[in-house]
Amino acid sequence: METANQNQAPASADDRDAQENKYTALFSYIYILFLIPLLAKRDSKFCQFHAKQGLVLFVVDIIASLFMWIPLIGQLLMLALAIVSIIGIVKVLNGEYWKIPFVYDWSEKIKI
C-alpha cells in the first residue's frame, strides 16, 4: 500500500521557497508595503522577485497619481494598476512567478 507522499515528486527549492514565503511576498503588491519582503526576506528568491516588481509598480503608481486630475485617463490608469496588483497578489498566493509585462524588465535592473 502506497501513501500519497510516495506518489508526489519531491518539491524543488523554488517551490519550498514560494510556499514558505508567499504570505510575506503578498505585501509586494500593496503600495509601499513592498519594503517588507524586500528588506525582511533578502534570502528568498520568491520574495525578492515579487518585491522588485512591487517597487516598480509603486513608482508607476506615484507617476500615475499625477494624472488623476485628468477625468477619464487618470481613473482608468489607477484602475489598471489596482487590477495588476490584485492579479499579483493572487499569483503570489498560488506560489507562482508572474512576469508583469514591462514591469518585469525594469525590475530585473534593480540590484539590491
Average pLDDT over residues 75-82: 90
pTM above threshold 0.85: no
- 11 — pLDDT class (breaks 50, 70, 90): low
72 inside domain? yes
Distances (CA, A) of 102 to 57, 77, 89, 99, 110: 10, 15, 18, 8, 14
| Size of the chain, expressed as the number of residues it contains | 112
8 inside domain? no
pLDDT of residue 3: 43
Determine whether 23 is exposed, middle or buried from the number of CB atoms within 10 Å of its CB (0-12, 13-18, 19+).
exposed
2 inside domain? no
Residue 110 predicted with pLDDT over 90: no
Of 34, 67, 56, give the one whose Cα is nearest residue 107: 56
Q: How many domains does the chain have?
A: 1
Percent of the chain with pLDDT over 90: 22
pLDDT of residue 65: 86
Residue 98 contacts by C-beta under 8 Å, 6 or more apart in sequence? 87, 88, 91
39 inside domain? yes
CA distance linking residue 93 with residue 107, whole number of Å:
20
1 inside domain? no
- 6 — pLDDT class (breaks 50, 70, 90): very low
Percent of the chain with pLDDT over 70: 88
Range of the domain at 59: 26-107
Of 38, 34, 88, 92, give the one whose Cα is nearest residue 59: 34
pLDDT of residue 12: 67
Residue 4 predicted with pLDDT over 50: no
Mean pLDDT of the residues in the chain = 83
103 inside domain? yes
6 inside domain? no
74 inside domain? yes
